[in-house]
Amino acid sequence: PPFGPQLGPKADGTPLLESKEQRAPADD
């Protein structure tokens, strides 16, 4: 499964907010 907001902070330690903003356009 992809490391996204649903899992909280990303594997690299990216904050949930940053992870969400980064994955929003890519995931969409």
**Is the whole-model pTM more than 0.75?**
no
How many other CB atoms sit within 10 Å of the CB of residue 19?
21
DSSP assignment string, the chain: ----GGGSS-TT---HHHHHHHHHHHH-
Contact 24, 5 (CB under 8 A): no
The token duo for 15 is: 């904050």
Task: Please write the tens of the pLDDT for every residue from 10-21.
Answer: 555 555 555 555
Give, in degrees to the nearest 5, the angle at Cα 4 between 13 and 11. 30
Model pLDDT, residue 2? 59
Average model confidence (pLDDT) across the chain: 55
